[in-house]
Amino acid sequence: MDKYGIHLRLVNEDDADFIIQLRTDPRLGQFIHATDKDVEKQKEWIRQYKLREKAGEEYYFIYYYKDEPVGVNRIYNIKENYATGGSWVCKPGLPIEVPILILIILREIIFEVLNLHYDKYDIRKKNFKVLRINNLFDPLETHETELDYYFELAKEPFEKKKEYILNLLNVNADGSRTIC
Amino acid sequence: MQMVAEQFVKDFVSVFDNADLSDFTADTRFKEHEEWSSLVALSVIIMIDERYHVRIKADDIRNSQTINDLYNRVIQELSNNDATAINECKVISAEKPEVVTKKI
């Protein structure tokens, strides 16, 4: 799949190195679940994931910009009318548009491909930058724990906010005008 | 206008998680800050839209080296619409993001 000048595909075992590199970076990985640096363990995790993917239970995406892998994210906890979009990690030094477009693509898959009604997800309370970006989408905060805020984003507000964000980034909604 | 420029620096620094305002001036080359990232850059674009009602482009960030470069870009954009707008725009306090948007 290609959109906004970004290519994505489902993760496979060959991506283990890149995923470890991203998720074990102390700056990038501080607000996500810990990942073992052992490549074989990561490959085994991916093998188990591929079974869940085949069963339609989970989808793990890797994104490319200018033919280089730049980030990953995942759709899991797929239920009748909602799923969780998460595990969003991107390489440092990317063009400004890339990380947010990767997040938008993930939600387009939840709402337009899987035809679900909600993205239900949580964000660490100390992850200020991601919370600020998250506020852009105007989600509903459903509850909180000591560590996390829990949100619910419906398709309609997402579509409205997506239009605003793409406009802010000077990117066309149909992907025809992409990032430089 | 100087006071407004100082406020702009303060607003700019507010989008960083771990930055000391005293380390920044209008001449600070912001991309050299260790916390600078594409997410911070996007936060700057959002901050400028929300507080100054100016929609700068990602290219404006790419083409700016110092906070003053960006400030001048905002002034230029405001001047295109209203020469006095920057003195009238509503500048809210530069704190951490308001997390709770709506509750069930």
pLDDT in tens, B15-47: 988 888 888 999 999 999 988 988 899 889 989
Output phi, psi for A117, to 5 deg: -100, -25
- Say if the Cβ atoms of B58 and A96 lie within 8 Å: yes
CA separation for the pair A173, A170 (Å, rounded): 9
**Contacts B55 to A, Cβ<8 Å:** 167-168
Q: Where are the domains of chain B?
A: 2-13+30-88
Q: Where are the domains of chain A?
A: 2-168
List the beta bridge partners of residue A2: A7
Chain-chain contact of B102 with A100 (C-beta, under 8 angstroms): no
Segment B73-93 mean pLDDT: 66
Strand order across the A140-144 sheet: A2-3, A6-10, A59-65, A68-76, A82-90, A118-124, A148-154, A140-144, B102-103
In this complex, is the C-beta atom of A142 within 8 Å of any C-beta atom belonging to chain B?
yes
Please tell me which residue of chain A has the smallest CA distance to B49: A168
Is A136 in Cβ contact with B46 (below 8 Å)? yes
pLDDT digits (tens, 9 = 90+) for B55-81: 898 889 999 999 999 999 999 988 887
Instruction: Please list, in sequence order, all residues whose beta carbon lies within 8 angstroms of the beta carbon of residue A152, skipping any fewer than 6 positions away.
Output: A82, A118, A119, A120, A139, A140, A142, B104
Three-state SS at A49? helix
Q: How far apart are CA A10 and CA B76, in angstroms?
A: 44
Is residue A89 within 8 A of residue A133, CB to CB? The reply is no
Asked if A139 reaches chain B (Cβ–Cβ under 8 Å), the answer is yes
Q: What's the pLDDT at B93?
A: 43
Mutate to test the interface with A, among B30, B37, B104 (most CBs of A within 10 A): B37
Measured between beta carbons, which residues in chain B are less than 8 angstroms from residue A89?
Answer: none
Q: What is the pLDDT of residue A87?
A: 87
Strand duo B102-103 + A140-144: pairing:
parallel
Cα A151 to Cα A2: distance, rounded to the nearest angstrom: 28
Q: Give the residue from chain B lying closest to A136, CA to CA.
A: B46
Q: Which residues of A touch B53 (CB under 8 A)?
A: none
- CB atoms A169 and B99 under 8 Å: no
* Dihedral of the alpha carbons of A103, A105, A110, A111, in degrees to the nearest 10: 110
pTM: predicted TM-score of the whole model, two decimal places? 0.82
Q: Could you say which architecture CATH assigns to the domain A2-168?
A: 3-Layer(aba) Sandwich (3.40)
Mean of per-residue pLDDT scores for chain B: 80
- pLDDT < 70: residue spans in chain A: 26, 28-32, 34, 174-180
In Å, how far is A160's CA from the nearest CA of chain B?
16
Which residues are within 8 A (CB) of A1 and not within 5 positions of it... i.e. 6 or more apart?
Answer: A7, A8, A9, A105
| CATH architecture classification, B2-13+30-88 | Orthogonal Bundle (1.10)
On whether the CB atoms of residues A1 and A174 are closer than 8 A, the answer is no
CA distance B62 to chain A (A): 9
Chain centre distance of CA B70: 8
Residues of chain B with C-beta less than 8 angstroms from the C-beta of A125: 99
- Whether A97 and chain B come into contact, CB under 8 Å, resolves to yes
Measured from the Cβ of residue A131, the count of other Cβ atoms closer than 10 Å reads 19
